[in-house]
Structure 1
Amino acid sequence: MMEQMENLPEEEKEVVLQLPNSYFERGLEKGKQEGKQEIALELLAIGMPINQIAEITKLSKEEIKKLAGK
């Protein structure tokens, strides 16, 4: 694959080299979001108010209500 990349124009090489990073960053963000949702569910389970959960997790109140099934 590296041999094929050598034949690409410089601009295209840069785009191809950035692809793995963009996938990694998207995966990282998705993991962070899922972690926040898990924490929100745990806090809902112990009866914490939605406004406090929103403050702690930085999720919107609407997202939390959706998680709670409200």
Structure 2
Amino acid sequence: MGVEMYRAMYGARRTGVRVRAVRARARCRDAGMVTSEYAMGLIAAVGFAGLLYKVITSAATRKALQDIVEKALHAL
């Protein structure tokens, strides 16, 4: 509801109180993650990065990339 509707329903004095209360609740809403959620997200990201690093640096991946590059060079 807009401020005008509150004024029409409750009068100008109560509208100011109501608007301030709504704004106070809006400021207190949870806007993000808490510290423990950041920590868990960081641990998950580091674990995923480690896994990705292992896959990229494995011999099978290196061989597959080398074959792709060789095929591209021989096609020219």
TM-score normalised to structure 1 length: 0.41
Which is bigger in relative contact order (C-alpha 8 A, separation at least 6)? 1
Q: Which has the larger radius of gyration?
A: 2
